[in-house]
Homo-oligomer: A and B are copies of this chain.
Amino acid sequence: MSETEFTTRLESARKDVEACLDRLLGPEPLEGETARPETLMAAIRHGVLNGGKRFRPFLVIETTRLLGGPADAALRVAAALECIHCYSLIHDDLPAMDDDDLRRGRPTVHTAFDEAAAILAGDSLLTLAFDIIADDATGLDPVARLALVSALSRAAGIGGMAGGQALDLAAEKTPPDEAGIVTLQAMKTGALIRFGAEAGAIIAGAGADARARLARFGAVIGLAFQLADDLLDLRADAETMGKATGKDAGRGKGTLVSLHGPAWAERRLTELVAEAEALLSPFGARAATLIAAARFVASREN
Q: Chain A residues in contact with chain B, CB under 8 A? A: 29-37, 39-41, 44, 87, 91, 94, 96-97, 114-117, 119-120, 122-124, 126-128, 130-131, 133-135, 142-143, 145-146, 149-151, 153-160, 162-167, 169-170, 183, 186-187, 191
Oligomer: number of copies: 2
Question: B124 contacts A157, CB within 8 Å?
Answer: yes
**26 pairs from A and B in contact (CB 8 Å cutoff):** A29-B159, A30-B154, A30-B159, A31-B154, A32-B151, A33-B160, A34-B187, A35-B187, A36-B163, A37-B167, A37-B170, A44-B158, A87-B123, A91-B119, A96-B119, A120-B166, A124-B163, A126-B126, A127-B153, A128-B153, A128-B158, A131-B157, A134-B150, A134-B153, A142-B146, A149-B149
Question: A183 contacts B34, CB within 8 Å?
Answer: yes
Question: B37 contacts A127, CB within 8 Å?
Answer: no
How many Å lie between the Cα of A96 and that of B162 in the bound state? 20
Question: A123 contacts B32, CB within 8 Å?
Answer: no
Question: B97 contacts A119, CB within 8 Å?
Answer: yes
Contacts A40-B158, A91-B119, A128-B153: A34 and B163 contacting too (C-beta < 8 A)?
A: yes
How many Å lie between the Cα of A115 and that of B107 in the bound state? 21
Question: B40 contacts A166, CB within 8 Å?
Answer: yes
Q: A-B pairs with the 10 shortest C-beta distances?
A: A33-B159, A96-B115, A127-B157, A32-B154, A131-B153, A142-B142, A40-B166, A134-B149, A124-B158, A130-B130
How many Å lie between the Cα of A31 and that of B269 in the bound state? 28
Contacting residues, chain B, for A87 (C-beta < 8 A): 123
How many Å lie between the Cα of A22 and that of B42 in the bound state? 38
